Every structure is written in C-alpha cells, then in structure tokens.
Structure 1
Amino acid sequence: MRLAIRLQELLNLTRNFDFLGPLALRLYLVPIFWMAGTKKLSDMESTIAWFGNPDWGLGLPFPTFMAYAASITEAGGAILLLLGLAVRWISIPLMVTMVVAALTVHWQNGWLAIAEGNGIFANERTAGAVERLDRARELLREHGQYSWLTENGSFVVLNNGIEFAATYFIMLLMLLFVGAGRYFSVDHWIAKRYMA
C-alpha cells in the first residue's frame, strides 16, 4: 500500500510539467499546417483548379470557397497554434480539413503514408510500389550515383494513405480537449488574467 501511495505521489509530480504535452503537439503541428496552407496560397489559381476539377483533382463543390477556406485555416491555424491562441477553437476547423483530406485525397490509397511491401496495413498498391522502388534502386546502382543519392537517407515511395491525416486529426483532438497548455500559450495568460 505504501508503495502504491509513493508511486501515486511520483505521478502527481509530473503534473508540474503537464504543459509540455500540449506545447509539443502545437509545435509539431505548426510547420505542417504552415507549409500546407502557404503552399496553397502561393498559387491559388492552381489550388482552386485542383479543388474543383473532377477528372484530375478533388472535384469538390464550391472550389474557390473550399480552397480559400482550407488554405487560410491551415496557414492561420499554424500561427494560432504557435502563439497558443484560441487553440481549442482552431482545432475544430483544422480537424475538418484533415477529415476532408483523408476522404478526398488519401482514402483510396489505404492507411500507409509510405509504401511498405508487407505488414497488416500493406495492400496491393503498396506491394506494387515496393517492386517499382526495388527496380529504381537497381537502375540507380547501375547507371547513377546511388551512394551519393542515398547519402542522407533512403529512397521511399509515397503511398499517400490516410496515416498522416489521421495522426494530425488525433493530435488536434487532444488539443481540443486539453487546450494550449500552461505558461507557453496566450490562452493560458488570457485565462489567468480575466478568468481568475
């Protein structure tokens, strides 16, 4: 019994550092949403065309509205996450963008973001991608500078499955429930000042 009490006291000490979890989630998500949003905003004409075209794009209704909504939500959301401002509120539209991305862009590719040939989440598509990757490596070893090309990492085939969108959704869901965290967020200082 004494050991259980001691262990509980030790766990209670970790509450002094409970701000680290939300801070880490926020800082991890900032560059992801910033790059996604600013890339779309930098070429809105192409983004709108991709959102609207049913043949080679997403075929979404109201493509201009949807493209601007997604782009501004992502870029603006990155800024709010960085500041820790309105984090619970911005998590909702960011989660919506992840659901739309998962359903319209990634769903047909299965779970895996990176193609792997085996495992419970591998499918026919990823197995075929691994075969192509192996052939590409052979060609590069034979005709290219393979060691130079792989000096900083291995080649992979992007499968573009729902894995990353689902992961970001779960991270945002946590932020929706726990908020921005203490100390390193504007939300914390606003609450401390006006709700104390």
Structure 2
Amino acid sequence: MNLDGYDMVLIGIGEEFEEAPDALEAYNKLSKDLEGKNYFIVSLCMDDVIYKSNLNQDRIVTPLGGRRKKQCPDACENALYDLDVEKCPICGKELIYNNILAENYIEQGYLPMWEKHKLWLTGTLNKSLYIMELGVSMRLPQVVRWPFERVAMLNNKAFFLRVNGKLPQINAELKEKGKGIGENSVKWLIEN
C-alpha cells in the first residue's frame, strides 16, 4: 500500500477483523503504514483488539461499542461503568457490555469520538484523501460502506480502496478512482 502523496487517510475496519487471530498484527502493520499521516479509523469490530494496537486511540471510533465499558441492561441511568463494576448502582441488575447487542444500547460511549470523526471528515474536502475500507460487510452499510463511497464520490482528490474476501466490488461511479481487491483484508494488510 502506497500512501505517498495523500494528505489524509480514512480507514473503515469491518467484520473480517472481528476475532481474527492475527488482527493485532494487522493493526500494528497499519499503524506503521500510517506513521506521519493524518488519519481516522471507523471500526465496526466489538472485540476491542484495535485498542491494544499501536494505533492512536484518539483517532479511532467504534460506533457499535465494545467490551471496554459496561452499562445497565435496562439503561435505567444513562451511564457507563468500568469493567470492575458488576451491578447497576440504581436497579441492582448485572451490568452488560456497552455495545449494540444490548437491547437498550447507550450510545454515549462512542458519540464524543463520532463528533471528532465528523469534524475531521469536514477537513478532508478538497484534500488528497486515501479511503481504505477493510473487510466491511453489508450488515450495517450505513455506518461505513455507503458513507465512505459518498465521501470518495464528493472528493475529486480521493482514492477509494475496498479489500474484502467476499464483497470487493465497487460501484460504477468509483471505477475511475477506486479499486476492489478480493482478498481477506487482515491477510492482505499484513502482506502489503
């Protein structure tokens, strides 16, 4: 992967990374590739392995939540708790992980970083932008797939790369400034 000549890099991480045995190695390789670059990562993984990597945590948002915080299953209080807290101090129920698997998902866990991501994204307009979508499925296309395609279409200086073992196709509007690679994204990232 050659990022020379690009001012900014937008990365989407998808389900191919979730629970992958060599995901940490891939994240650390990505960190090395991004040295000196202005980047932001939107990850759909809830395993939180990305936070164990060398990537800058202030440049990562995980809108589906994860396993770093807990919440009340009833969201009786709009609060998040550290992992060592076992029961909700309000209702006494056992706390669960703060992620979209919770019936009453408390979004405050990711919203501050989402706002930072949106602000960063406004700075990409008319800049040379490398958009890299790695292993994102169609499970929640409105979070990464469609917004990333839209950013690529709106920015005349953008290049769009989609690496996916099952869904590498890119739409017709991006054919001139994009590429799809039909490989597992974790393996591809480690090897390239």
Higher relative contact order (CA 8 A, sep 6+): 1
Higher Cα Rg, which structure? 1
Give the TM-score normalised by structure 2.
0.24
Greater strand proportion? 2
